[in-house]
Amino acid sequence: MTDYKRFGNRWTINECLQLQREYELLELSIDAIAERHHRTPNAIMLKLDSEGFADYCVLYSNYKICKQQEEDEEQEQEQEDDEDQEMSLKLQVLNLEKKVNQLTELLMKQNKNTSGFSLL
């Protein structure tokens, strides 16, 4: 989690120039800019709007869409991980069943052999 140390602090001229450079030239994400400035993503969007670099409504909409996509991707990855783990467990169970069957066969052969010796 990002530490918003500058929350509520006034923006300096240098910070505004840096903001413009990061947004327009470097094309950093809102989250990346917020992290660099130790401010909330909303503060970054509001400042970009107030300085005339971007429209807050457009920024906010795009930000929300990106966040939703990130959440969707995380959920898909978690689901894939769960499915992978389930498949791995199924394979482990099948291997264990195979080994149990082999041991059972071995024990049955040994029982036949030992019972055969006792009859002689």
pLDDT digits (tens, 9 = 90+) for 19-44: 999 999 999 999 999 999 999 999 99
Q: DSSP secondary structure string, 56-108? A: HHHHHHHHHHHHHHHHHHHHHHHHHHHHHHHHHHHHHHHHHHHHHHHHHHHHH
Model-level pTM? 0.58
Average pLDDT for the chain: 90
Is the backbone of residue 52 left (phi > 0), alpha (psi -120 to 50) or beta? left
Match 């509001």 to its residue by tokens.
46
pLDDT digits (tens, 9 = 90+) for 56-86: 999 999 999 988 988 988 899 999 988 999 9
> What proportion of the chain, given as a percentage, has pLDDT over 90?
71
The pLDDT of residue 118: 52
The pLDDT of residue 34: 95
The pLDDT of residue 120: 47
The pLDDT of residue 1: 58
The pLDDT of residue 2: 65
Region 44-49: what's the mean pLDDT? 96
